Amino acid sequence: MNTFGYNIRLTTFGESHGPALGGILDGFPPMVKIDFEKVKEDMEKRAPGRQAFTSPRKEPDEVEFLSGLSADGVTLGTPIGFIIRNKDQRSGDYAGYAGRFRPNHADYTYYSKYGINEFAGGGRASARATVSWVAAGALCRQWLATKGVTVSARFIETNSVEEAASNGDSTGGIVEGVINGLPVGVGEPLFGKLHSRLAAAMMSINAAKAFEYGDGVASAYSFGSNVQDLMIPDNNAAGGYRFLTNHSGGIQGGISNGMPVNFKVYFKPTPTLMREMDAYDTEGKHVIIPPKGRHDPCVAKRAPAIVEAMALLTVADLMRYM
Amino acid sequence: MNTFGYNIRLTTFGESHGPALGGILDGFPPMVKIDFEKVKEDMEKRAPGRQAFTSPRKEPDEVEFLSGLSADGVTLGTPIGFIIRNKDQRSGDYAGYAGRFRPNHADYTYYSKYGINEFAGGGRASARATVSWVAAGALCRQWLATKGVTVSARFIETNSVEEAASNGDSTGGIVEGVINGLPVGVGEPLFGKLHSRLAAAMMSINAAKAFEYGDGVASAYSFGSNVQDLMIPDNNAAGGYRFLTNHSGGIQGGISNGMPVNFKVYFKPTPTLMREMDAYDTEGKHVIIPPKGRHDPCVAKRAPAIVEAMALLTVADLMRYM
Amino acid sequence: MNTFGYNIRLTTFGESHGPALGGILDGFPPMVKIDFEKVKEDMEKRAPGRQAFTSPRKEPDEVEFLSGLSADGVTLGTPIGFIIRNKDQRSGDYAGYAGRFRPNHADYTYYSKYGINEFAGGGRASARATVSWVAAGALCRQWLATKGVTVSARFIETNSVEEAASNGDSTGGIVEGVINGLPVGVGEPLFGKLHSRLAAAMMSINAAKAFEYGDGVASAYSFGSNVQDLMIPDNNAAGGYRFLTNHSGGIQGGISNGMPVNFKVYFKPTPTLMREMDAYDTEGKHVIIPPKGRHDPCVAKRAPAIVEAMALLTVADLMRYM
Amino acid sequence: MNTFGYNIRLTTFGESHGPALGGILDGFPPMVKIDFEKVKEDMEKRAPGRQAFTSPRKEPDEVEFLSGLSADGVTLGTPIGFIIRNKDQRSGDYAGYAGRFRPNHADYTYYSKYGINEFAGGGRASARATVSWVAAGALCRQWLATKGVTVSARFIETNSVEEAASNGDSTGGIVEGVINGLPVGVGEPLFGKLHSRLAAAMMSINAAKAFEYGDGVASAYSFGSNVQDLMIPDNNAAGGYRFLTNHSGGIQGGISNGMPVNFKVYFKPTPTLMREMDAYDTEGKHVIIPPKGRHDPCVAKRAPAIVEAMALLTVADLMRYM
């Protein structure tokens, strides 16, 4: 369950405090010329420390490509192996957490499931794992660009992040994504619907709690007569028709209809606070966890790069043999 | 993409107006005694015509099991094949739709993708296909019951359905699901998280537009200090700990923590109205679609049985080898 | 593990003495006009009782198609569900076998693995399950014919079958298959090599003990200088080149090279003899199994239809998105 | 198609002349203590240059593990990422091959399929890719040893390799494998039969042309009365029964019966000769390929380590959830 996708498949590995993370992107089309500067830009968008109020960890996150590319950077159609070294492991920061179940973290569930006490910094559950998703998404972005498909995402603030940070608190937030330029026909019935695949992809991101597309939650409160997307013939439109409105969010019956696909992902607040936290350890003893370690008061702020990556992987996968 | 699951896999077939629908449930545990009366009850919960204001179509939907069961109804561990005959096809009702793209239906996207004009009544895109999901979910329910796991779902009204129906209109609605009795440890990192799998499952249901679990959308507006689920040791609890609150919705890091798993699915209004509708046909000609055919003014009302089925399939799949 | 293939996937169900067997063929191309008479011919080729010295069981094996086809027999691109009723179950013939481990059958291994004593007539292990493979293969044959690809197989006698039968004995045999008209490029490195996929397919057939392609076993005894397949440019050849010899059996590096693909499958003798057989039962008691039930003295004789079906499924799967 | 297995899955990457090869082993059990010296021994068994008459290339092939292991070498249950650097690329040796289709190599089929002229030294088709299989197999060997299962393989000479080498020629050969200590019940009907999985695994190895298990090819020439494996109760045997003979090769109905599983893989001669070879280039021009580059006169000689690795991966995969 460390593999995402069917036609273009990303298999990942790596713990946040091991020597490296990485992945294998298999099924990627041959003959795509990769611009490594653009890969670097995508990696930087994800990097913590780039934005105020996100974690000060400043690793450069260089992607080393090990296969699948010719000497001049053209994809060969063979699996693309890549690694990202962990340069700034500072696991000392996490010393206070060893053997302790931090509230609202995966510490307790991982410990119960695997029986292994390796959760300093989150191990495999850490958001650090998304570094591989962004690297692979960056390649998909370049291939999709050749087909006129673009993906972008932006953070929507719900509470003042400065205020949360100054209180040692954290806050939730929203990321809105949009996919432009999709042809008609992307998505597979019955269990590969475009929005079902997107939902699964987005809910794989740490701290995501809800997903909606098009009118989303509001649809449930609507009358049918108010939300019909009427279509009219339009020779400039992807499939020969244009829709006058987009309540559907660009998807009908699980298949893209040529309109922009828009969706929102709702993120909970970072569970770690810069305050003392009540907790229990693996021996059942009550402990106070001190405020320590790296800290993003709002995980959603850093999420747009990851939302983009997962949407890119999803769309590339579905479009591979179209 | 007509297969759901990995360890217990449901593969489905059938069009709404063909001779039969059905499926193969592969990987189901051996030695489970099936109560066919209970399967029937689950099928009836889904049946239209059972509730006021849902479609008057009244097929009995008998499931014929063809394999995988001993003479006395005990599962053999071999694939369980089953079919449900379409007894009440009345495709005449759909005559007015032939070659016409009904608004907010999958007609246009299916036509563009497959180039086949077989969409009277929805064909493969019809909610009728869910009859196989419910049959398979009914078997999963019986196996999960032996492990103390139960799944239930209920409809939450947002607008008066009577009012919508009397106007020839339709309305959206909400279905809330809850999974009780889950042990700690259900869900697989990174791409098999319990809520990611549930999201994909729920977004496979026709007309679903949003999914949330636990605090869901509200999480995005919360401060971290207000939504911590504190844990305390409790020998009666699944994993030795109980949580004082359940903002997490029973899932942390994608893995169940022993608390109830609750989630909501938001459904859009039925796209077909009992009014004349503007549309275009496959020749690009403007047409008026008359009010005709079967009609559920609120698809969400019939959805609880389907939400339960998909949750049952998801949980059974994840628990198969625990 | 009841599913074969990736792009065109056959999922099967059914026990030899249950009400029906069948399958779902998912991913089959749309717009293929099916000739049902030809499907019937393929089913008849498999039927026992058609040849002298094969089992006298004479069920007609009618395939009932339940979905995936338009009214005039054109594939829709949706999953094709089909069933074959067991009309001639005569399980009384197997009464003497109940609870007894017949020599060289799967009785003991199935019983040990599943703990279920349902092996009269072989249950899921019976060669009867191949009826679904032949039905699905028949559809693949018709699609592949539109691309100029044909598959045929023939039985090669090793011992006189009449002699074996008159002694109440059984004998092994060989089936040779050939795939003609394949374009260059069928097969996927590294674990989807054409011959690896064929080997797995053929070794799925009951009683198969060995697989070879091209020079096969003889290759191991050859010098490299004697078995080079020299190529020469030829505008009439599939890929612009023709090979002067075909030691490679039409496959190089796991990928078809445009030459005929030929292979052999070696079958062991039918384990059931028309003699008394020493055996043990599930209680550990020694028993004598009397000569009874249907009997093919040479399973290989009936295997060509099955070898063809599995080759057709393999090739169709690999060519689906070429 | 660069992934092998279902429960324990190896996904691989790497070209013979790129910076590194490697893989991700996902699904491997947690809590297995790895002995890295033993991994090294397995890698050395594969290394060319270790035996007379195999290629003089002498890379050490160190495996660098990047994830999935605790600091003291215990598996965590998370994916195990590893890489092997190519230290001795000497692609100059292959200069004479650029753009030329070497006889009986994958050059022509890869070129036709992918349109990319990257086949110096074999690229992805090179036997060098098996280095990742051996590394992953080495981990499986250590887990299986804790269950009493061992795998070994040996080379069987068919022609004098010295003679072939002195003539600038090459020869085929045979590798025999045996799996000891298997419990009863390994293998999955219908398409996951133990011998079908082994056949696919072995036919994935470069130059393999035939696979047989148990009596294999000879079965086809046998009478049933001569090859019955009679069973007798034996409390010391895996499943409570022992077989007096093993014509079945330890497998009945695709499932292990507790006896040793033995099989043979037949390899063709190395296609490259140390002689001038007639060939064509990508422009259709006739060329003479000079004798150059590294050379194994008998690929089968080096194959036992690879045969063992593939058998280990196959068995570990099938036993993961037993």
Which residues of chain C have a CB within 8 Å of the CB of A189? 78
CB A16 within 8 A of CB A131: no
Residue B122 pLDDT > 90, yes or no? no
Which residues of chain B have a CB within 8 Å of the CB of D78? 189
Mean pLDDT of A4-10: 97
Share of chain A above pLDDT 90, in %: 71
Which residues of chain A have a CB within 8 Å of the CB of C189? 78
Query: Judging by beta carbons within 10 Å of its beta carbon (0-12, 13-18, 19+), is residue D30 exposed, middle or buried?
Result: middle
Chain segment C219-248, per-residue pLDDT in tens: 999 999 999 999 999 988 878 899 999 999
What pLDDT score does C317 carry?
98
DSSP string, A10-40: EEEE--TTSSEEEEEEESPPSSPBP-HHHHH
Mark yes or no for CB contact B189/A255 under 8 Å.
no
CB C250 within 8 A of CB C182: yes
Mark yes or no for CB contact C114/B76 under 8 Å.
yes
Here the tokens at position B13 are 């077939």
Q: How confident is the model at residue B65 (pLDDT cuts 50, 70, 90)?
A: very high
Chains that touch D (3 or more CB pairs under 8 A): A, B, C
The 3-state secondary structure of B128-141 reads HHHHHHHHHHHHHH
Could you check whether the bond before residue A190 is cis, i.e. omega within 30 degrees of 0?
yes
Residue A48 pLDDT > 70, yes or no? no
Which residues of chain C have a CB within 8 Å of the CB of A68? none
Q: How far is D244 from chain C (nearest CA, A)?
A: 11
User: Which residues of C have a CB under 8 Å from any CB of A?
Assistant: 78, 189, 321
Name which of C30, C189, C7, A208 is nearest B214 in CA terms: A208
Q: How far is A220 from chain B (nearest CA, A)?
A: 4
Q: How confident is the model at residue D295 (pLDDT cuts 50, 70, 90)?
A: confident
Q: How far is A138 from chain B (nearest CA, A)?
A: 19
- Nearest-CB residue to D66 (from A20, A80, A115): A20
Mean pLDDT, rounded, of chain C? 90
Q: How far is A81 from chain C (nearest CA, A)?
A: 15
What pLDDT score does B4 carry?
97
What pLDDT score does D114 carry?
80
Name which of D58, D120, D54 is nearest D87 in CA terms: D58
Chain segment B236-292, per-residue pLDDT in tens: 887 889 999 999 999 999 999 999 999 999 999 999 899 998 889 888 899 998 887
Distance CA C264, CA C267 (A): 10
What pLDDT score does C120 carry?
43
Choose the mutation target among A78, A116, A131 for the interface with D, i.e. most D CBs under 10 Å.
A78
Chain segment A155-169, per-residue pLDDT in tens: 999 999 999 999 999
Distance CA B78, CA B81 (A): 9
Distances (CA, A) of D135 to D13, D63, D296: 13, 7, 21
What pLDDT score does A281 carry?
87
Distance CA A299, CA A225 (A): 38
Q: How confident is the model at residue B121 (pLDDT cuts 50, 70, 90)?
A: very low
Which residues of chain A have a CB within 8 Å of the CB of C78? 189
What pLDDT score does C16 carry?
87
> Is residue B149 helix, strand or coil?
coil
- Nearest-CB residue to D2 (from A15, A22, A26): A26
Query: Across chain C, which distance is largest between two alpha carbons, in Å?
Result: 69
Find residue B173's DSSP bridge partners.
B267
Chain segment C9-65, per-residue pLDDT in tens: 999 999 988 999 999 999 999 999 999 999 999 999 988 655 555 555 555 699 999
∠ Cα C155 C269 D264 (to 5°): 90
Chain segment A72-97, per-residue pLDDT in tens: 999 999 999 999 999 865 555 555 56
Mean pLDDT, rounded, of chain A? 90
Mark yes or no for CB contact A109/B185 under 8 Å.
yes
Mark yes or no for CB contact A80/D20 under 8 Å.
no
Residue D89 pLDDT > 80, yes or no? no
Name which of B239, B241, B38, B233 is nearest B145 in CA terms: B38
Q: How far is D153 from chain C (nearest CA, A)?
A: 16
Chain segment C256-282, per-residue pLDDT in tens: 999 999 999 999 999 989 999 888 988
Choose the mutation target among B188, B319, B321, B322 for the interface with D, i.e. most D CBs under 10 Å.
B321
Chains that touch A (3 or more CB pairs under 8 A): B, C, D
Distance CA A303, CA D14 (A): 31
Contacts of D21 (CB under 8 A, 6+ apart): A66, A67, A81, D12, D13, D14, D15, D83, D84, D86, D128, D129, D131, D132
Distance CA C281, CA C289 (A): 10
Query: Judging by beta carbons within 10 Å of its beta carbon (0-12, 13-18, 19+), is residue A207 exposed, middle or buried?
Result: buried
Q: How confident is the model at residue A138 (pLDDT cuts 50, 70, 90)?
A: very high
CB B208 within 8 A of CB B304: no
- Nearest-CB residue to D190 (from C2, C171, C253): C2
Its pTM surpasses 0.90 = yes
What pLDDT score does B120 carry?
43
CB A260 within 8 A of CB A250: yes
Least confident of A7-21, A109-123, D80-94: A109-123
Chain segment D26-59, per-residue pLDDT in tens: 999 999 999 999 999 999 998 865 555 555 556 5
Q: How confident is the model at residue A139 (pLDDT cuts 50, 70, 90)?
A: very high
Residue of B nearest to D321 (CA): B321
Q: How far is D259 from chain C (nearest CA, A)?
A: 11
Residue D97 pLDDT > 70, yes or no? no
Mean pLDDT of A92-111: 76
Mark yes or no for CB contact B66/C30 under 8 Å.
no
Distance CA C119, CA A3 (A): 38
What pLDDT score does A118 carry?
57
Name which of C299, C252, C9, C282 is nearest C155 in CA terms: C299
Distances (CA, A) of B227 to A315, B210, B238: 34, 22, 22
- Nearest-CB residue to C321 (from A78, A189, A321): A321
CB A143 within 8 A of CB A35: no
Choose the mutation target among B67, B75, B84 for the interface with C, i.e. most C CBs under 10 Å.
B67
- Nearest-CB residue to D22 (from A66, A76, A114): A66
What residue ranges in A55-167 does DSSP mark as E strands?
A: 64-65, 80-85, 100-101, 150-156
∠ Cα B15 B19 B25 (to 5°): 65
Chain segment A232-291, per-residue pLDDT in tens: 999 888 788 999 999 999 999 999 999 999 999 999 999 989 999 888 988 889 999 888
Mean pLDDT, rounded, of chain B? 90
- Nearest-CB residue to A221 (from B3, B124, B172): B172
Distance CA C169, CA D246 (A): 19
Residue A121 pLDDT > 50, yes or no? no
Chain segment C85-130, per-residue pLDDT in tens: 998 655 555 556 677 888 888 888 988 888 766 544 467 778 899 9
Q: Tell me which range, B198-202, B292-296, D292-296, is most confidently predicted by mean pLDDT.
A: B198-202
What pLDDT score does C121 carry?
46
Q: How confident is the model at residue B56 (pLDDT cuts 50, 70, 90)?
A: low
Name the phi and psi angles at D121, rounded to 5. 75, 0
CB B283 within 8 A of CB B262: no
Mark yes or no for CB contact B12/C18 under 8 Å.
no
Would you tell me how many other CB atoms lie within 10 Å of the CB of residue D285? 11
Here the tokens at position D208 are 């393999």
